Structure 1
Amino acid sequence: MRLRAIPVALWALVVLVAIASLVMLRHSASAGTAASAVASGGPRYGLSSVGLSYPFAAAIAKGFSDTAARAGATAVILDAKGDVQKQANDIDDLVAQKVKGIAIMPLDSVVAQGWVDRIGRAGVPVAAVAALIGDPKKRRIDDVYPGLVALVSQDEVAAGEAAGTLAVRLLPRDRKARIAIIEGAAGFPEVEQRARGFRQGLAKAGIKYEIVASQPGDWTAEGGEAACQNILAAQPDIDMFFNEADDMVIGCARAVRAAGSHARLIGVGGSKLAVASIKAGAVDGTVCFKPEALGALAFEALHQKTAGPRFRTYPIPAVTRATVGECVGQW
């Protein structure tokens, strides 16, 4: 089913599902944060989030706080609101509060090296969640930065490769395929890692392709829509948009539909809205992430009494309309 053939009523249902899901997740994360400010009687563990306005980050916070509560602990969740300097101050605050452990979802993986070193000197266990610490161009995902008790994340290169392998099934094989990449915000290691993995997936299949355009979508639906509009205006014959996150693929789908384009659409993340859009035929596929599981694994890495693996992850299948039942959205 092509995007322009989707009934208006079905699109409205997809939007309603998305709004309800985002409200529930953000309410849950906010409730967990408020509770952490007043709870007492258990050990306190901190999570420095990039920003709870991001649904993915909010789901990580929910997984962290829910798991802490089940362990009889208190989760102290601080929201950096996308500001690197605020995140640095938040981490100093957590150290001053003498929490038992700190999980960092870093806004800048290179700057975060100094944070980890500083926390280590204070004698507080520290874990990274959802992104590596260090230069992503020089450090493999499983090469965990010294001083971390654990890095809890998807293998972002593997996620990109899964998307590339999925793309091969959707692209033309009788000619060179024209692909555009909608990137996340600058500074996030996932931007380069997912793009690198995507190219690896295409290369392994031996498909002929050209990346004819790439623009940042800044992780948002609005950014994804604007980027795809710009690219379609200049190059209306695009065969596929690879969006590095599901929020962006939803916005890109609006742009593709408005332009009457037949471009295929792939995202990354397994969001509830993306799953609904795949079922509706508005998006072709995504790679299924579980952010609540990341939050849970990060807390467990800090709370556990014995050492475990320093790199912790979980399966990340790529899904299409035929297999989307394998992906239960957590954000």
Structure 2
Amino acid sequence: MKTRILFSVRTFFSLFILFLAGCGGGDEGAGMQSKEDSGSEKKGMIGVSVLTLGNPFFSVIAENITSEAAKHGYEVIVVDGDRDVQKQANQIDDFLTKGVSAIILNPCDRISIGAAVKKANAAGVPVFTCDLKCVAEGAEVVSHVGSDNLQGGKLAGDAMVDALGETGGKVLVIHFPQANSCQLRVQGFKEVINAHNRGREVGKIEVVAELDGGGVRDEGYKVAEDTMQAHPDLAGIFAINDPSALGARAALEKAGKQDQVKIVAFDGQPEGKQAIKEGKIFADPVQFPDQIGKKTVELIISYFSGEDVPSEVLIPTALYTQADGLNDPELE
């Protein structure tokens, strides 16, 4: 069963100020813990392992999980998976040793994390995922909360068509294929591009490379640089998140091709929005990580209460363009 919740860009401008909170990586055992309300009885612990706290998007999810769970009397332990599936598997083992009531994951790998999830299943500890799915066979996840990434990918495709106009051209996709969410983004993007190309003799958009940028700035820079060398007439880049897009933008500026190549990204982080306002990125389908975190906790509380919960809740994205950036009170 799927549930979709509609939001608009402007309704959530103020929510993204949360991104400005500091973030950073952490050791496997390090993390942040919630404090239950003074005088309230602690009901249990929730263990949270995120893909990386080095990305503000996941920090916002973790912060909202922590604050929402505290309202219900649950302590939260947040740890950084650091994009390392074995490290994340060890963190799940640690959660089980500590006797957590539930586990929330942003899987570092949508398939390889399956064995660790099965351990939690065997221990009777419910597992929930948010933003990133676990799709390993036999691994049981109670519910998943995330963006409607297929819909967001289609918005990104529409934006690329608008950016390149009737000329079309060659496009690089900067991927992170380990994440199911990114698979869906790229799928939606390609569906729109293929529909645009159908029946055209001229003005086609050709995806000439689809490379793993790791979801981080440094690798986004490298794959953009490599692709420009192989395809000096590159016209567009679709990056699956803002960090990889900003890395690609730096590579374009170094090569003097910032006016030649249009970038469409994904996320709507403050730095990405600022780049859109300044014309450095063409557009972003934006996500709402605060809502993802809160909704995940709501489902856990409902599950503990014996209620039926949906297997998936999808929150649609909304396209953020330069016009939105110029009217965004949260930007400089």
Query: Normalising by structure 1, what TM-score?
Result: 0.80
CA distance in 1, matches of 2:245, 2:150: 19
**Aligned residues of 2:36 and 2:74 also touching (Cα < 8 A):** no
Higher strand share: 2
Question: Structure 2: any 5+ residue segments left out of the alignment?
Answer: 1-16, 199-203
Match of 1:195 in 2: 186
**Aligned residues of 2:242 and 2:269 also touching (Cα < 8 A):** yes
Higher helix share: 1
2:228 is aligned with 1:232: yes
1:204 corresponds, among 189, 195, 206, to 195
Question: 1:155-304 alignment to 2 at 5 Å?
Answer: 155-174=148-167, 176-184=168-176, 186-206=177-197, 208-261=204-257, 262-304=260-302
Change (3 A) 1:325 1:64: farther
Change (3 A) 1:187 1:100: same
Q: CA deviation at 1:90?
A: 1.0
Q: CA deviation at 1:78?
A: 2.1
CA distance in 1, matches of 2:89, 2:32: 21
CA distance in 1, matches of 2:253, 2:81: 35
2:317 is aligned with 1:319: no
Q: CA deviation at 1:324?
A: 4.2
Deviations 1:233-260 (A, max 9, x none): 2322111111111111111112222323
Match of 2:23 in 1: 26
Greater shift after overlay, 73-82 or 200-209?
Answer: 200-209
Q: CA deviation at 1:213?
A: 2.2
Query: Normalising by structure 2, what TM-score?
Result: 0.80
State the percentage of identical aligned residues: 24
CA distance in 1, matches of 2:73, 2:328: 30
Change (3 A) 1:76 1:327: farther
**Aligned residues of 1:100 and 1:125 also touching (Cα < 8 A):** yes
Match of 2:9 in 1: none
Equivalent residue letter for 1:187: Q
Match of 1:95 in 2: 96
Question: 1:143-162 alignment to 2 at 5 Å?
Answer: 147-162=140-155
Match of 2:10 in 1: none
**Aligned residues of 2:174 and 2:240 also touching (Cα < 8 A):** yes
SS in structure 1 at match of 2:163: coil
SS in structure 2 at match of 1:107: coil
Match of 1:81 in 2: 82
Match of 2:7 in 1: none
RMSD after superposition: 3.0
Counting matched residue pairs gives 299
Q: CA deviation at 1:274?
A: 0.5
Match of 1:109 in 2: 110
